[in-house]
Structure 1
Amino acid sequence: MIEMPPLQFADVNGIRMGYYEAGPKSDKPPVILCHGWPELAFSWRHQIKALSEAGIRVIAPDQRGYGATDRPEPVEDYDMEHLTGDLVGLLDHLQIDKAIFVGHDWGGFVVWQMPLRHLDRVAGVIGVNTPHWDRMPADPIELFRQRFGDKMYIVQFQDPGREPDRIFGSRVEQTFDAFMRKPVARPAGTPEEQPIAGVGASARLNLAFPQMIANYDAKHDPRTPILSPEEKQVFVDTFAKTGFTGGINWYRNFSRNWQRSEGLDHTVRVPSLMIMAENDAVLPPSATEGMERLVPDLEKYLVRDSGHWTQQEKPDEVSSKLIEWRRKRFG
């Protein structure tokens, strides 16, 4: 049985946002859980249950373009101003002054931006796998293209013809079968994948995700699935209905976000926790090196034997760490 609180809706920042809430309303500061791509608030099901049972107020939205939340047409409606503005709007709707923002994958990029743009609404930040970096020295899409070539998925996602959206959208079950698995463990002594600022991953990793999905056959995949058949069906049913364009539009704003962040002070001035996953090939622990310069009040924690989907691969460990850090820092 999959446990999720009832779905609720809020009108925020020009869209209708679906969200889930649990735990005592009196608890302050509450915890806002922000998912990545291609995911949903449902990705935090284990943490919603554990944190609320520990007496912590927890809120998990389907973010703009995903699940029960609106999917506006214009690509620019998915830039960082909109994504952070949605979370401020959610706080306003719930009459919350400040919150601790937790983000995994793309949600991590968003929550690290919250204290840069809306400091008065942020009590603390927790990045899960996604580190906080300084502004890149050049347009990130050009850097990705130089480093990884035109087939790298973020470069492909810039395609105005939206071919990647079509590939994923016509193979929804294949997409989640392929992505939501534990990585093959690295033999001892193997060097970690070397990251690139703004996105991890080495050239050894196949980053041509659309082609990988187009040619994928689960029968030949030796990796262990993370999701039960029932859990996988939640993702498949939702994305079959919504498609992937909303989430991919976040990637289509990499250059715009970079241009518009010129002059923004990238120092994070709130208590912060960085949860790293030992075997995440795209956002490896080495990607967090030097974060302390930009995040002076930082604790780091390594989840061993976990790949990219950390809060679903190691739910108890991640939940325990969130609860422990929250109590230590906020009582």
Structure 2
Amino acid sequence: MSRIPDFPKPTLISVNGIELEVFEAGQQNIGNPIVLCHGWPEHAFSWRHQIPALATAGYHVIVPNQRGYGNSSCPTEVTSYDIEHLTGDLVALLDHYGYQDAAFIGHDWGAMVVWGIALLHPNRIKQIINLALPYQARTEKPWIEFMEEFLGNDYYIVHFNRQPGIADAVLDANTTQFLRNIFRKNMPPAPPEPGMIVIDLARAEAPVGEPLMGDNELAVFISAFEKTGFMSSINWYRNLDRNWQILADVKPIIQKPTLMIYGDRDLISKSANLKEFVPNVDVVSLDCGHWIQQEEPEETNQVILKWLEQ
């Protein structure tokens, strides 16, 4: 990974049969842990603006590259990326530090994992702060079938599952261009185009909107994905139906104190029934797109710290 000044140096920690690359700050605040979970196609580095603020506020900040990312293990089996493995890694990380529970913050897929911890390991999570991805209630049909019916077979998550390997190869061949094109902000509103959005982004020569970050920051993501390729992280999506099976008998209501942060211009829809499933939720919307904590770092930090103080 390209070294960035002031970003913590990583440690490789063995947990749950794999190794996680973990970045830490605020070690002087032992006993007050907060775990930050990145999304796709991201990296622990996506929390660079939150780490110092949380450490200063008195937290022991623990930021893993989750399995399939960065210098963490990238198992070859698709099923190694189901919700049991992903949540199991983070529970094992708490065990490693000797913590019974922690506050968790998740963005995008990281939010999905945090919701998963609350469902599968509720005694290990103290508070939930999730960005961008609201709680996804279990549908009557398996998720991929449900998405295929409503969103079509070109919808990127359906495509990842029905045509495995195709998107992965396109992204691997266009890593820099894809990451440059996806990490944008202030996108002009436009109707959805036909085609497979992720493949189209990887092939687009001219990005829209404004860059989310400087070239030296983008280089961290590029070097990480040049090392791992994209298959291991896309395999998270290839477990959605397996996760649907795993969660079949799990009580779907999450009682933990929760903060849900939306970007008003995100393509991910806000939940209409979040309170039904997460009764103790507070909701905040910021004027930004999908990359909330990187687009509006100061505002995101203020919202998070104010909520945690309550």
SS in 2 for 1:103: strand
**Is 2:310 the partner of 1:324?**
no
Who is 1:301 aligned against? Answer: 284
Residue of 108, 112, 126 corresponding to 1:105: 108
Correspondence list, 1:3-22, <5 A: 3-22=6-25
Who is 1:198 aligned against? Answer: none
Who is 2:80 aligned against? Answer: 77
- Contact 1:3/1:45 (<8 A) preserved: no
Aligned length: 307
- Contact 2:36/2:104 (<8 A) preserved: yes
Q: Deviations over 1:67-105 (max 9, x none)?
A: 010000110000000000000010011111210111100
Who is 1:34 aligned against? Answer: 37
Q: Which runs of 5+ in 2 are unaligned?
A: none
Residue of 272, 284, 296 corresponding to 1:314: 296
Residue of 124, 137, 145 corresponding to 1:121: 124
- Name the CA shift for 1:9/1:214 in 2 (closer, same or farther; >3 Å): closer
Which has the higher mean CA deviation after the structures are superposed, 83-92 or 125-134? 125-134
Structure 1 distance, partners of 2:193, 2:127, is 33
Who is 1:260 aligned against? Answer: 246
SS in 2 for 1:169: helix
* Runs of 4+ in structure 1 over 4 Å off: none
SS in 1 for 2:284: strand
- Contact 2:37/2:44 (<8 A) preserved: yes
- Name the CA shift for 1:29/1:315 in 2 (closer, same or farther; >3 Å): same
Structure 1 distance, partners of 2:137, 2:220, is 36
Structure 1 distance, partners of 2:220, 2:194, is 27
Which has the higher mean CA deviation after the structures are superposed, 120-129 or 46-55? 46-55
Who is 2:196 aligned against? Answer: 208
**Is 2:147 the partner of 1:147?**
no
SS in 2 for 1:46: coil
**Aligned-residue RMSD, C-alpha:** 1.7
What is the Cα deviation at residue 204 of structure 1?
Answer: 2.8
AA aligned opposite 1:113: G
Who is 1:225 aligned against? Answer: 211
- Contact 1:2/1:231 (<8 A) preserved: no
Q: Which runs of 5+ in 1 are unaligned?
A: 188-202
Structure 2 distance, partners of 1:29, 1:270, is 17
TM-score by length of 2: 0.94
SS in 1 for 2:24: strand
Which has the higher mean CA deviation after the structures are superposed, 9-18 or 19-28? 19-28
Structure 2 distance, partners of 1:176, 1:268, is 34
Structure 1 distance, partners of 2:95, 2:80, is 20
